[in-house]
Amino acid sequence: MTAVTLPPSRRRREVLPVDFDDTAEEAAYRARVRATLEERDAELLHVRPGQSADARRYEAELRATERVLAEAGLVGVTWPQEYGGQGGTLVQQAIVAQELARARVPTLINHIGIGMCGPTVIAHGSDDQRQRYLARLLRADDVWCQLFSEPASGSDLAALRTSAVRDGENWVVNGQKVWTTLAHVADFGILLTRTDPERPKHAGLTMFVVDMHAPGVTVRPLRQMSGDAGFNEVFFDDVRIPDSERLGEPGEGWRVALTTLMNERVAIGGAGSDIGQSAEALAAHARDRLPALGAEQQVLARQAVGRALVASLATRYTGYRRFTTLSQGGVPGPEASAGKLGGTAAARLVSDAGVRLLGDDAVFGATGDGDETWQKAAAYVPGVAIAGGTDQVLRNILGERVLGLPPEPRTDKSAPFSSGGRR
């Protein structure tokens, strides 16, 4: 028999190794955040059923809410203070996220700016760019969007065609982006372009910050299957971008984009304070609606609710584990893709269970008070499964980078982009 050491937990520690309770410091911070949110409650927007139909007004309210939160030091918690952040810890950021969810404050309007664009500017921007953009971004003085996908290049992002050609101190951009979330309200975007078609596809890309109000930028909202218009087509016709708005070196755009994508998976994975993803919201909904169902339907609905809650909790606690790793100094790796897969699956189960609880109201018009919250949440999930990497693409990443399975054969990596790769 192999000699082993016994679990030395006989020595009682002061703090349990796994501990979901706040430390004294964390508890104090949480109390401060909660007090702030209560104090400024009247100035904040809240998630509520049958939300404001007037999109313009809703946008203004969202911007105002983010500004209030930024003033209160609750936006960009981990960002450096010199750029308007709090220089805080990841734990503090998580506490803020939990408290915002608890207070039913909707997702911040600049979630793409905060989660993806800002971190990319921090990592690859010049000092001047950081000074000009970041603090304004946190206050939602400027809303940002991410201009990556194109009609012919989504999953295969590096196949994009939007071109940027150098002209003295400027670059001239032509091409089209699509499915650009928030472009219709955005002031700036990070834009991935092709600057050298003679190089292999990943090597000829360059990233810029683009002014969405610049001449030659046209934004056309696209209606989504949920009925809302949250994303857009964006056209670039001879748009001039000063070279000082470049992010990273010419030809280094892919490396810059990877920063964005890495942050995107972390930002999306396991997140979601909105109805339709939240275990608490589903439990409250079940409390309201279960009694109205027949006995047999109640049994079936409880199975659906239970399954959704378990998936949701599994995703939440997996997020906590990743997050503990990060706060101990680890870097976000490909595992973050698992968080997005899990979160999508949970969101699907949660919103489906929410709809199921409506009984006949689920399929036969809205419920009495015009509340379509759960139907909308369900209709949003297919998009969640696509945005930020489809389920299939994430499975490829996990299979190859975490499980170590061989990559698929591909022929497009070394040929000049202009030769069309294998096409």
Partner 1 sequence: MNFDLSDDQRDAAAGARAFFTGSASPAAARAALEGTAAPAPGRKALADIGFLGITVPESAGGAGGSVLDLAVVAEQGGAVLAGPSLVTAARAAVLLEGAPDLAAQLADGSAALAVLDGPVSGSAPSVDAADATLFLGLDDGVLVVGEGEVVPGAPLDATRGLARVRMTSRRVLAEDAAQLWARARQVGAVVMAAEDLGAADRAVLMGVDYAQQREAFGRVIGSYQAVKHMLVDAWVGVDQLRSLVWWAAWAADSAPAELPLAASAAKAYAAEVFERAAETVVQVHGGIGFTWEHDAHLYWRRAKVDRLLLGDAAEHLDAVARLAVAGALG
Ligand X SMILES: Cc1cc2nc3c(=O)[nH]c(=O)nc-3n(C[C@H](O)[C@H](O)[C@H](O)COP(=O)(O)OP(=O)(O)OC[C@H]3O[C@@H](n4cnc5c(N)ncnc54)[C@H](O)[C@@H]3O)c2cc1C
User: Which listed range, 14-22, 131-139, 258-266, 376-384, lies at the site for partner 1 (CB under 8 A)?
Assistant: 14-22
Q: How far is the CB of 148 from partner 1 (least distance, A)?
A: 23
Pairing mode, if any, of strands 188-194 and 231-242? unpaired
Of 264, 280, 296, 408, the active-site residue reads 264
Shortest spacing between CB 233 and ligand X, in angstroms? 11
- Find the binding residues for partner 1 in span 276-295 (CB under 8 A): 279-280, 282-283, 286-287, 290
Among ligand X, partner 1, none, the one that 231 touches (CB under a kind-dependent 5 to 8 A) is ligand X
* Gap between the Cα atoms of 355 and 374, Å rounded: 5
Beta strands in 297-363 (DSSP E): none
Return d(Cα 159, Cα 421) in angstroms, integer. 10
Q: Which of 328, 329, 363, 422 binds partner 1 (CB under 8 A)?
A: 328
Nearest to ligand X of 40, 255 (CB atom): 255
Q: How far is the CB of 26 from ligand X (least distance, A)?
A: 33
Site for partner 1 contains 406 (CB under 8 A): yes
Which tokens go with 92?
Answer: 């503090």
As given in the structure block, the two tokens for residue 102 are 């608890």
Binder among 78, 107, 170, 396 for ligand X (CB under 6 A): 396
- Judged by CB under 8 A, the residue of 60, 131, 226, 320 near partner 1 is 320
Calpha distance 67→64 (Å, rounded): 5
Cβ contact 388:317 at 8 Å:
no
> What ranges make up the beta strands (E) of 223-358?
231-242, 246-247
Q: Residue 114 and residue 161: Cα distance in Å, rounded?
A: 27
Residue (334 or 383) nearer to partner 1, CB = 334
Tell whether residue 367 is a contact of ligand X (CB under 6 A): no
Kindly tell me which of 155 and 244 has the beta carbon lying closer to ligand X: 155
Choose among 422, 413, 420, 411: nearest CA to 200. 413
Task: Tell me which residue has tokens 């983010």.
Answer: 66
| Binding partner at 26 among ligand X, partner 1, none, C-beta below 5 to 8 Å by kind | partner 1
Binding mask 33-72 for partner 1 (x = CB under 8 A): ----------------------------------------
User: Which lies closer to ligand X via its Cβ, residue 68 or residue 147?
Assistant: 147
Residues 164 to 223: which contact ligand X by CB under 6 A? 179-181
Task: Return the SS3 of 200.
Answer: strand
Distance CA 80, CA 86 (A): 6
**Coil, strand or helix: which one is 111?**
helix
Cα separation of the two ends of the chain: 61
Rounded-to-integer distance, Cα 102 and Cα 104, Å = 5
Say whether residue 390 binds ligand X (CB under 6 A). yes
Catalytic residue at 280?
A: no
Question: Any residues with CB less than 8 A from the CB of 52 and at least 6 apart, and which?
Answer: 58, 61
Q: Which of 45, 143, 338, 378 binds partner 1 (CB under 8 A)?
A: 338
Q: Residue 104 interacts with partner 1 (CB under 8 A)?
A: no
Q: What is the dihedral of CA 87, 46, 144, 339, to 10 degrees?
A: 70
Residues of span 83-102 touching partner 1 by CB under 8 A: 91, 94
Distance CA 283, CA 309 (A): 8
Q: Total residues contacting ligand X (rule CB under 6 A)?
A: 21
Site for ligand X in 146-165 (CB under 6 A): 146-149, 154-156
- The type of residue at 96 is V
The half-sphere exposure of 394 on its side-chain side, counting CA atoms within 13 A, is 27
* Residues binding ligand X (CB under 6 A): 112, 145-149, 154-156, 179-181, 231, 383, 386-387, 389-390, 392-393, 396
* Residues binding partner 1 (CB under 8 A): 1-2, 4-10, 13, 15-23, 26, 91, 94, 279-280, 282-283, 286-287, 290, 299, 302-303, 305-307, 309-311, 313-315, 317-318, 320-321, 323-325, 328, 335, 338, 341-342, 392, 395-396, 398-400, 402-409
